[in-house]
Chains A and B, each alone.
Chain A
Amino acid sequence: GENVEQHPSTLSVQEGDSAVIKCTYSDSASNYFPWYKQELGKRPQLIIDIRSNVGEKKDQRIAVTLNKTAKHFSLHITETQPEDSAVYFCAALSSNTGKLIFGQGTTLQVKP
């Protein structure tokens, strides 16, 4: 079946460093890839997304890159801050069902 693999499961960085989270997907026809940030006890929040017609998208300190050939996409956070600490989920929209397939999540810890 369709799946999304996310790595790493945990990531610890020093404040000010960059963080990169990678996801691979199996559905080659998938065309929409959102990223969610979930703080402890809170709802998942959509922070950035990318569609298959572009290779990169930026929004201030966060960026997402997409490699359709390799079927992977990545979240890049620069100049990390303690408030970036959260669980991050990637997802891919299934071309078959129209539903999001979520990765397993990455727990990011930014140490002050």
Chain B
Amino acid sequence: SAVISQKPSRDICQRGTSLTIQCQVDSQVTMMFWYRQQPGQSLTLIATANQGSEATYESGFVIDKFPISRPNLTFSTLTVSNMSPEDSSIYLCSVEGDIVAGSYNEQFFGPGTRLTVL
């Protein structure tokens, strides 16, 4: 499967600031997603990162709070804007559809970014 990396792996931020999380894949993929996982909870989809166009957000998530970029088929960023303690969570990118491998549906996750907002 594709090798997925995320930066930073963790961060502690002050409220009111913003943090940009990077997701890099070692192969071209058709789909990239951003999830949030609260401690002890399941995975909640924030948005689908679309290459060359605006991300598609799930209910309860808006672009002003979570701007997303996807400039190419191997890279995406998620920004958590104007952070509050409620944004403390693990943020995970995931990828689907390895173009070279010809896989579809299988979704693989990055290692996650643990964010703490004080």
Contacts and interface: CB of A to CB of B under 8 A. Distances in A.
Interface of A: 32, 34, 36, 42-46, 49, 51, 89, 93, 99-100, 102-105
B32 interface: no
Contact of B48 (A36, A42, A99, A104): A99
Interface residue tally on B, bucketed by range: 10 to 19
Contact of B105 (A32, A42, A102, A105): A32
B67 interface: no
A100 B107 contact: yes
A68 B41 CA distance: 27
A49 to B, nearest CB: 7
A42 to B, nearest CB: 8
Interface in B39-54: 41-43, 45, 48
A93 B42 CA distance: 16
Contacts of A99: 33, 45, 48
A46 B1 CA distance: 10
Interface centre among A43, A45, A99 (most CB of B within 10 A): A43
21 contacts: A34-B106, A34-B107, A36-B109, A42-B111, A43-B109, A43-B110, A43-B111, A44-B43, A44-B92, A44-B109, A46-B1, A46-B106, A46-B108, A49-B105, A89-B42, A89-B43, A93-B105, A99-B33, A100-B107, A103-B42, A104-B42
Contacts of B106: 34, 46, 49
A103 B1 CA distance: 23
Nearest to B58: A99
Nearest to A98: B31
A102 B92 contact: no
A15 B105 CA distance: 33
A76 B42 CA distance: 20
